[in-house]
Amino acid sequence: MAEQQFDPNRPVCRSGIVAKELVNGMIYIRHPRFSSRIVNRETWGFIQMCDGRDLDQLIIGVAELLGFSLTKEQLSSSIREFAENGVFIGTGERSPRSYRICNAMPLITKLSPSLKWLATRWFAILTAIAYLTCIALLVFDWTRFIEAVVSAVRQHPIQTLFLYYLTFIPIAFLHELGHASVANFYGGEVPEIVIGSSGNLAVITNMTVLKDRRAKIWYLSMGTVVDVFIWLALLVTFHYNNSYIVVVFLLPQTIYFLIYVYSIFKNSDFLKAVCAALNEPVPARPWKFIKDSWMPGSSAKSKLVWIMTVSLTVKLVITAFLIITFMFKEPMVLVLYLIYRVMVLAIGRWPSWWRRLFRTNLDLPNVDLKPGRT
């Protein structure tokens, strides 16, 4: 369907954007042509102002709206960012987009009252016990587990590869509901359940309510708390029943706990929760941060470096152990895992590859200004 061309000097906001006011002056916006998002009131005001007027007129409008003026470069940069989010006519989203399924509030408001019992010290201790039980069960059933994985891969290699990807989707969604319930418990709305272009399910959450340290730590941890109890349920089930279907659910969850859950890369929940607990900023480049910051001391920063180094070491040791185990037992497991990683990369990147093939790039200045957190 042909659409009016985008002019970065006279951007036009899409018509028919549904906007809903949330707490803390945030606005939830949605439209069939872009991923729904939560923006601040000023950002929404600016988007609405873009009706085809030129940059000079927009500068005057923004000054009235925000109470301070922006330079032409800053304004162009903001326009570029919104264009990359697809909010203007003639633009499309750069990053993989998500699609609305339904309103998440009816579900979340049923879950969040339980946080009164769950976001407590006692429940944290119970989760730690559950986690230790998981480790004990895994160690106890390790030989059976490896045999079951090897036999699943030998009997149904391709099916196992796809199920490894698919069975993780509902579990990852429960993880997201864990996070969102905490935000809702503290008053934040969760206006939408979405499906991403890679098939992942997620929720859109107003996180501006997570002001104090305790709220932030619970928010960041609750996804993993949910995962611990799912892992425990799967391990107990496997202990009594090592059928193929149990193995394909247990395998991705076990790999997640063995090498990803305490990862310090890709802005992980773990790294963010540790940083929130230590009152330290999240390192933008964890690898460089470890390399540059290693020094003795007892400050929060050196504690963080220490935790990150231990996590990295454990990850490397367990990864090496898994590689050696499967190299001797069944190298096909490693080959399939490699194919899986390439598949995940391709699924995550295909929208941008598609765009590169079939669409022209937006010709906009490349200045980086964050006009408002989305």
List interacting residues with Zn ion (CB under 5 A).
Answer: 223, 269
Report the alpha-carbon distance of residue 307 to residue 148 in Å, rounded: 33
Least distance in Å: CB of 167 to Zn ion?
Answer: 18
Report the alpha-carbon distance of residue 34 to residue 241 in Å, rounded: 45
Nearer to Zn ion, 39 or 172 (CB): 172
Least distance in Å: CB of 200 to Zn ion?
Answer: 12
**Tokens at 247, concatenated:** 């193995």
Nearer to Zn ion, 22 or 220 (CB): 220
Q: Which residue's beta carbon is nearest to the bound Zn ion?
A: 223
Nearer to Zn ion, 131 or 145 (CB): 131
The three-class DSSP label of residue 88 is strand
Least distance in Å: CB of 272 to Zn ion?
Answer: 9
Chain position carrying tokens 């939830």: 28
CB 190 within 8 A of CB 218: no
Nearer to Zn ion, 191 or 223 (CB): 223
Whole-Å CA distances, 143 to 146, 149, 241: 5, 10, 15
Report the alpha-carbon distance of residue 71 to residue 374 in Å, rounded: 22
Q: Which of 233, 235, 232, 259 is nearest to 247 (CA)?
A: 235
The three-class DSSP label of residue 21 is strand
Nearer to Zn ion, 80 or 216 (CB): 216
Least distance in Å: CB of 175 to Zn ion?
Answer: 5
Least distance in Å: CB of 177 to Zn ion?
Answer: 10
